C-alpha cells in the first residue's frame, strides 16, 4: 500500500541525494512525538556517499527541499530531517478514501494468491465446550478475518479431538451407566458426566481401566458396536458445538478431526521407517530429537494404532496436498508448544521444505477471578454458561440505560458475547487472561461494550442528521481542529495495523487500535458540535462521523464482534 505523503518525501530526498527511492523509503520513520513532525529521515546512511556529517546533511537537505503540495514544512533536528505534512491535504485524502471504501477501508491485497490454513478451536469431543476453548476459538476466528482482510484465501479447520482412549472411556462408561434418553436430551453434558464419573470410579478401582482398553481397541479395530456408539456421541457433541459456533459467528471450511487421519498414519509411519527416522525405543516407535534438544517424538506405542502426534503429521501432509498452503497456523495454548516444535522438526527431517511455513500461535490460559462464576459444573466452566450469563447481565444494563430500545434481545446477545470475546483478545495472546465480570462488561472501560457503545453513539448522530450519508460534496478542508486531525491520523493507521496484526498473529493490535480510535473520537465529540446551523461544517463533520462508524465496525468485525447500530 502506498502512502502518497511518504512517496512525496521519497521523491524529494531521492532527487536531492541520488539515493534510489526504495532505499530512501526504507529509512523513513514516524517520530516518537507529533511535535517532531509526521515523518523523519535519519541522515546517518548518507554520510559515507555525501562525505559529510549527518547533522550537516540534514541541514543542507532541509534547505534544498522546498515545501509545497503535501509537505507543509521541513526542519532539520540534529541528524534527522523532520517533515510536517499539510494537514488539510492529509485529512482530505484520508477521509476521501474512507468515504469511498466504507467498510472496506483498511483491507488490502498483500496476501492475494496465497492460501493460509488455520487450525483452530479443535475441542475434544468427549467433553462439552468449556471456557478454555474460547481462547483458541476467538483468536483463530480473528486470525481468519485478519488474513481475509489482507487478501489471503483462508481455510479454517476444526481438528476435533475425536479419536483415542478418551473415547474408549466414554463407551465403557456408557456401557456401565448410560441412559439413552438422558444423552439425547443433553448430549455433551450427560456424556461428560459419565466420563467424569468413570474417571472417579477408576481411581478407586483401577480394574475399570480394562474396559477402557477393551473399547479403545474395539474402536481402533473398527468394531461395529464401538463405532456406532462413538459416532453417535460424536454427532451429538458436534451438533452442540455448532450451536455455540453459531452464537459466536464462527465457521469452518472443514471439520476434519483426528479420526479423519486415523487411517492415514500408515503411509507416514512407513515413510519415517524408510527414511531411517523412526527407531524402536522401550516398545514404542519414536523419532529421536536430542540433536535439537527435544525429547523423542512418539510415533506409535505398543497398543495404539495411531497417536496424537502421528495423526498431526498425517494431517499436515494431507493439508499440504489438499490445499497447497503457503502458511499453516495452529492456535493452541502454550502447553502444546513442545508438541508443535517436535512436529515441525520431524516434518523438516522428512524433507518437507514447507515445514518452515508451519506456525504455532500459542496463548496463555484463562481463569476467573475467584468466586465470581456461579454456574460451575464439576471442575470445568462451560462456555455456554458464561455466554448466557454475559447476555443476561448485558440485558440488565441495556434495560437500565435505555428501557424503550427496540430489539433488546439481539443487542444483549451481540454485546454480551462481544464482551466475552473482546476480553479474550484485548491483551497480548501469550498473556494469561483473568476474567472479571465487572471489568469486561464496563461500558466505560477498555471493553468490547465500550467500543460497541461508541460505535452506536455515532450511528445515532448520523440518524439525527438524517441526510445522505456519506454526504457527497462535503468540504473536508473545513476539518482543521487538532481533535479532528487526531481522529483522522488514528484512522489512517488502520490498514497498517491490520497487516501487522495478521503478520504477527496478534488480534490485540486491533483491540488496542479500537480503544485509541474511541478515545480520539470521543475527544473530538466532546469538543465540537457535529450538527449545527453551519451547514457546510455540519456536512464535513458528518463525513468524519460516518468514517468513524465505518472504521469501528470494520475493526469490530476483525475481532469477531458485531456492531449494533443502537444500544
DSSP secondary structure code for residue 250 in this structure = -
Task: Answer whether 508's CB lies under 8 Å from 418's CB.
Answer: no
In the complex with ligand ARG, the residue whose CB is nearer, 84 or 318, is 318
C-alpha cell at 308: 496424537
C-alpha cell at 317: 501432509
In the complex with ligand ARG, the residue whose CB is nearer, 159 or 457, is 159
What x/- string results for residues 159 through 188 when contact with ligand ARG is judged by CB under 6 A? x-x---------------------------
CA distances from 76 to 56, 61, 196, 312 (A): 9, 8, 70, 57
In the complex with ligand ARG, the residue whose CB is nearer, 261 or 546, is 261
382-411 residues in contact with ligand ARG (CB under 6 A) are: none
User: What is d(CA 85, CA 83) in angstroms, rounded to the nearest whole number?
Assistant: 6
Task: Answer whether 84's CB lies under 8 Å from 90's CB.
Answer: no
* Parallel, antiparallel or unpaired: strands 39-42 and 80-85: antiparallel
CA dihedral of residues 458, 459, 461, 463 (deg, nearest 10): 180
Closest approach, Cβ 563 to ligand ARG, in A, equals 30
Closest approach, Cβ 116 to ligand ARG, in A, equals 15
CB closest to ligand ARG, residue no: 161
326-355 residues in contact with ligand ARG (CB under 6 A) are: 330, 332
Length of the chain: 567
User: What is d(CA 449, CA 440) in angstroms, rounded to the nearest whole number?
Assistant: 8
Number of residues in contact with ligand ARG under rule CB under 6 A: 10
Give residue 420's Cα distance to chain centre. 14
In the complex with ligand ARG, the residue whose CB is nearer, 81 or 219, is 219
Three-state DSSP state, 332: strand
Closest approach, Cβ 119 to ligand ARG, in A, equals 5
Closest approach, Cβ 338 to ligand ARG, in A, equals 12
What x/- string results for residues 472 through 511 when contact with ligand ARG is judged by CB under 6 A? ----------------------------------------
204-263 residues in contact with ligand ARG (CB under 6 A) are: none
Q: Residue 298: which H helix or E strand, with range?
A: strand 297-300
Three-state DSSP state, 222: coil
CA distances from 456 to 419, 485, 558, 563 (A): 15, 22, 17, 8
In the complex with ligand ARG, the residue whose CB is nearer, 161 or 187, is 161
The 3-class secondary structure across 165-218, one letter per residue, is HHHHHHHHHHHHHCCHHHHHHCHHHHHHHHHHHHHHHHHHCHHHHHHHHHHHHH
105-164 residues in contact with ligand ARG (CB under 6 A) are: 119, 122-124, 159, 161
In the complex with ligand ARG, the residue whose CB is nearer, 83 or 330, is 330
Closest approach, Cβ 124 to ligand ARG, in A, equals 5
Closest approach, Cβ 94 to ligand ARG, in A, equals 41
In the complex with ligand ARG, the residue whose CB is nearer, 330 or 458, is 330
CA distances from 195 to 57, 172, 256, 504 (A): 74, 9, 24, 38
In the complex with ligand ARG, the residue whose CB is nearer, 105 or 344, is 344
In the complex with ligand ARG, the residue whose CB is nearer, 82 or 136, is 136
293-312 residues in contact with ligand ARG (CB under 6 A) are: 312
C-alpha cell at 447: 471493553
In the complex with ligand ARG, the residue whose CB is nearer, 87 or 126, is 126
Closest approach, Cβ 123 to ligand ARG, in A, equals 6
Which sign does the torsion angle of CA 185, 187, 193, 199 carry?
A: positive
Closest approach, Cβ 518 to ligand ARG, in A, equals 34
In the complex with ligand ARG, the residue whose CB is nearer, 80 or 245, is 245
Closest approach, Cβ 71 to ligand ARG, in A, equals 51
Closest approach, Cβ 203 to ligand ARG, in A, equals 23
Query: Count of CB atoms within 10 A of residue 163's CB?
Result: 26
Closest approach, Cβ 340 to ligand ARG, in A, equals 8
Closest approach, Cβ 133 to ligand ARG, in A, equals 7
**6: closest CA among 36, 33, 35, 41?**
41
Contacts of 51 (CB under 8 A, 6+ apart): none
User: What is d(CA 164, CA 168) in angstroms, rounded to the nearest whole number?
Assistant: 7
In the complex with ligand ARG, the residue whose CB is nearer, 62 or 123, is 123
Query: Count of CB atoms within 10 A of residue 479's CB?
Result: 24
49-78 residues in contact with ligand ARG (CB under 6 A) are: none
Chain residues in the site for ligand ARG (CB under 6 A): 119, 122-124, 159, 161, 312, 315, 330, 332
Amino acid at each position: 500500500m502506498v502512502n502518497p505523503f511518504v512517496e512525496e518525501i521519497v521523491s524529494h530526498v531521492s532527487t536531492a541525494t541520488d539515493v534510489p527511492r526504495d532505499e530512501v523509503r526504507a529509512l523513513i520513520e514516524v517520530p516518537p512525538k507529533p511535535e517532531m513532525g509526521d515523518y523523519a529521515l535519519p541522515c546517518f546512511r548518507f554520510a559515507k556517499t555525501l562525505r559529510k556529517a549527518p547533522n550537516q546533511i540534514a541541514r543542507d537537505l532541509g534547505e534544498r527541499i522546498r515545501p509545497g503540495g503535501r509537505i507543509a514544512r521541513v526542519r532539520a533536528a540534529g541528524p534527522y530531517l523532520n517533515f510536517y505534512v499539510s494537514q488539510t491535504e492529509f485529512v482530505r485524502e484520508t477521509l476521501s478514501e474512507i468515504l469511498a471504501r466504507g467498510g472496506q477501508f483498511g483491507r488490502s491485497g498483500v496476501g492475494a494468491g496465497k492460501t493460509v490454513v488455520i487450525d483452530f478451536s479443535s475441542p475434544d469431543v468427549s467433553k462439552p465446550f468449556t471456557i478454555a476453548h474460547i481462547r483458541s476459538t476467538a483468536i483463530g476466528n480473528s486470525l481468519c478475518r485478519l488474513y481475509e482482510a489482507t487478501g489471503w484465501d483462508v481455510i479454517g479447520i476444526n481438528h476435533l479431538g475425536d479419536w483415542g482412549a478418551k473415547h474408549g472411556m466414554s463407551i465403557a462408561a456408557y456401557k456401565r451407566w448410560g441412559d439413552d434418553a438422558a444423552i439425547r436430551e443433553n448430549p455433551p453434558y450427560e456424556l461428560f458426566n459419565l466420563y467424569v464419573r468413570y474417571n472417579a470410579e477408576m481411581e478407586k478401582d483401577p480394574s475399570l481401566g480394562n474396559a477402557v482398553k477393551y473399547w479403545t481397541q474395539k474402536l481402533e479395530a473398527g468394531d461395529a458396536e464401538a463405532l456406532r456408539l462413538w459416532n453417535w456421541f460424536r454427532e451429538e457433541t458436534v451438533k452442540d458445538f455448532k450451536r455455540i459456533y453459531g452464537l459466536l459467528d464462527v465457521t469452518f471450511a472443514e471439520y476434519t478431526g483426528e479420526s479423519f487421519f486415523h487411517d492415514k498414519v500408515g503411509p507416514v509411519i512407513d515413510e519415517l521407517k524408510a527414511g531411517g527416522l523412526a527407531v524402536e525405543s522401550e516398545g514404542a516407535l519414536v523419532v529421536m530429537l536430542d540433536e535439537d534438544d527435544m525429547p523423542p517424538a512418539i510415533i506409535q506405542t505398543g497398543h495404539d494404532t495411531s497417536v496424537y502426534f502421528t495423526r498431526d503429521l498425517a494431517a499436515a501432509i494431507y493439508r499440504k496436498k489438499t490445499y497447497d498452503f503457503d502458511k499453516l497456523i495452529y492456535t493452541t495454548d502454550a502447553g502444546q508448544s513442545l508438541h508443535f516444535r517436535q512436529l515441525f522438526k520431524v516434518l523438516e527431517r522428512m524433507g518437507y521444505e514447507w515445514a518452515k511455513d508451519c506456525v504455532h500461535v500459542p496463548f496463555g490460559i484463562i481463569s476467573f477471578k475467584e468466586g465470581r462464576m456461579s454456574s460451575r459444573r464439576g471442575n470445568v466452566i462451560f462456555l455456554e454458561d458464561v455466554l448466557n450469563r454475559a447476555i443476561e447481565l448485558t440485558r440488565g444494563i441495556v434495560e437500565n440505560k435505555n428501557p424503550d430500545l427496540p430489539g433488546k434481545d439481539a443487542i444483549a446477545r451481540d454485546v454480551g458475547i462481544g464482551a466475552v470475546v473482546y476480553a479474550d483478545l484485548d491483551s497480548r495472546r501469550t498473556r494469561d487472561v483473568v476474567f472479571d465480570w465487572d471489568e469486561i462488561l464496563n461500558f466505560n472501560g477498555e471493553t468490547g461494550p465500550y467500543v460497541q457503545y461508541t460505535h452506536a453513539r455515532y450511528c445515532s448522530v448520523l440518524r439525527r442528521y438524517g441526510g445522505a450519508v456519506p454526504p457527497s460534496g462535503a468540504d473536508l478542508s473545513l476539518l482543521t481542529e487538532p481533535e479532528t486531525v487526531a481522529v483522522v491520523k488514528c484512522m489512517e493507521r488502520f490498514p497498517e495495523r491490520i497487516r501487522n496484526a495478521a503478520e504477527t498473529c496478534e488480534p490485540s493490535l486491533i483491540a488496542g487500535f479500537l480503544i485509541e480510535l474511541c478515545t480520539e473520537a470521543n475527544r473530538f465529540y466532546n469538543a465540537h458540535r457535529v450538527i449545527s446551523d453551519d451547514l457546510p461544517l455540519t456536512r464535513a463533520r458528518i463525513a468524519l462521523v460516518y468514517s468513524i462508524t465505518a472504521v469501528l465496525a470494520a475493526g469490530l468485525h476483525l475481532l469477531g464482534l458485531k456492531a449494533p447500530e443502537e444500544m
